[in-house]
Amino acid sequence: MQRKGLAAVVALLVIGVSAVAAARSSASAATVRAVVSVQPAAREQGTTRYVLAPEGNSARYFVREQLASVNFPSDAVGVTDSLTGAITVDDKGQVVPAESKVVANIAYLKSDRDMRDGFIRRRTMDTDKYPTVTLVPREIKGLPMPLPTSGRVSFTVLGDLTVKGVTRPTTWSVMAGVRNGAVRGTASTGFTFADFQLEKPKVMSILSVADSIHLVYDFNLVPAEGQAAAR
């Protein structure tokens, strides 16, 4: 009887150890499956952040006007080089709006005529109250991914433009060159004075001003410090 009892105890111990080993093996397999299933999602969530380089960024407006001293129409051009911001793009070539914004300081907007600039600052843009124009990119169409390490690319950006407290959707055509991780090029869009409730310049030297405004952003974007450009 004692031998039978001892044999039974040993049998129970063997069964228990086998059950524990099986449970550990099952848990390990589940962990491996979980890691394998998570890894692709982690790669899909990768992003690349670009910041405005210290040089090579400027914003320009073009407005067709008729000057009193000239017999034919010409373009009024105003420029500001005071821009800040950054743009974050994911692995699929889509912008991350919450981490993307470009801000132009228009208090420094300058054309070839002081009278025009004064009217724009005081009346058209009211820069004392609204010193900046802001673009928040929402969607990118046609951006090749992975982004090439060199060469030319063209794509479209849809973004919300805020001018003098009014925000409207805009479409930007973009032409850019990629070199050594930096992206440099030109983005352009158009709208009317009425779209943003803006007053046209009215000075004695200007006979008429067209309704449309053409806006051009010359950009120079570089990967944020501590990371490389997307490959």
CA angle in degrees (0–180, nearest 5) for 24-29-33: 145
- List Cβ neighbours of 121 (8 Å cut-off, separation of 6 or more): 107, 109, 127, 128
- List Cβ neighbours of 218 (8 Å cut-off, separation of 6 or more): 56, 57, 58, 59, 60, 185, 186
Q: Each residue of 52-105: pLDDT tens digit?
A: 999 999 999 999 998 887 777 889 999 999 999 999 999 888 999 999 999 999
Q: Which domain holds residue 181?
A: 47-223
Beta partners for residue 77, in sequence order: 62
Residue 82 covered by a domain: yes
* pTM score of the predicted model: 0.76
Based on the fold, state whether residues 26 and 74 are members of the same structural domain: no
Number of domains in the chain: 2
Based on the fold, state whether residues 213 and 105 are members of the same structural domain: yes
Both structure tokens of 158: 């849809």
H or E element: which one contains 37?
A: helix 2-44
Based on the fold, state whether residues 135 and 176 are members of the same structural domain: yes
The full length of the chain comes to: 231
Residue 228 covered by a domain: no
Question: Domain holding 77: CATH number?
Answer: 2.40.128.110
Both structure tokens of 77: 């051009």
Residue 76 covered by a domain: yes
Q: Each residue of 174-202: pLDDT tens digit?
A: 999 999 889 999 999 999 999 999 999 88
Residue 229 covered by a domain: no
The Cα 9–Cα 15 span in angstroms is: 10
Residue 134 covered by a domain: yes
Place of tokens 């801000």: 103
Based on the fold, state whether residues 167 and 62 are members of the same structural domain: yes
Residue 189 covered by a domain: yes
Residue 160: other Cβ atoms inside 10 A? 15
Residue 140 covered by a domain: yes
Q: Each residue of 22-37: pLDDT tens digit?
A: 444 444 444 333 333 3
The Cα 42–Cα 37 span in angstroms is: 10
> Is 193 exposed, middle or buried (CB count within 10 Å of its CB: 0-12, 13-18, 19+)?
middle
Quote the pLDDT of residue 220: 98
Based on the fold, state whether residues 114 and 213 are members of the same structural domain: yes
- Contact call for residues 161 and 167 (beta carbons, < 8 A): yes
Based on the fold, state whether residues 74 and 119 are members of the same structural domain: yes
Q: How confident is the model at residue 228 (pLDDT cuts 50, 70, 90)?
A: low
Closest CA to 59 of 197, 186, 198: 186
Residue 89 covered by a domain: yes
The Cα 189–Cα 76 span in angstroms is: 16
